[in-house]
Amino acid sequence: MVEGGPVLVEGPVELELDDGTLVRSERFVVAVCACRRSKTYPICDTSHRRRRQPPGR
């Protein structure tokens, strides 16, 4: 697990979303989004690296 980032798992993997949708990745290592900010959720797209806007901005 990368702090503040994805969970790295050995692939290939099949992930089931809350709505039952299955997402499959054939990569050797899959970065699974743990922050839920990825535009390609459940796969990490590095959105976790972007700074969040401070409150009130």
**Footprint on this chain of ligand FES (rule: CB under 6 A):** 5-6, 33-35, 37-38, 44-48
9 vs 45, which CB is nearer to ligand FES?
45
* Distant-in-sequence, close-in-space partners of 34: CB < 8 Å, separation ≥ 6: 1, 5, 6, 7, 44, 48
30 vs 33, which CB is nearer to ligand FES?
33
- Contact, 32 vs 9, CB < 8 A? yes
3 vs 14, which CB is nearer to ligand FES?
3
Question: Cβ 14 to ligand FES, closest distance in Å?
Answer: 19
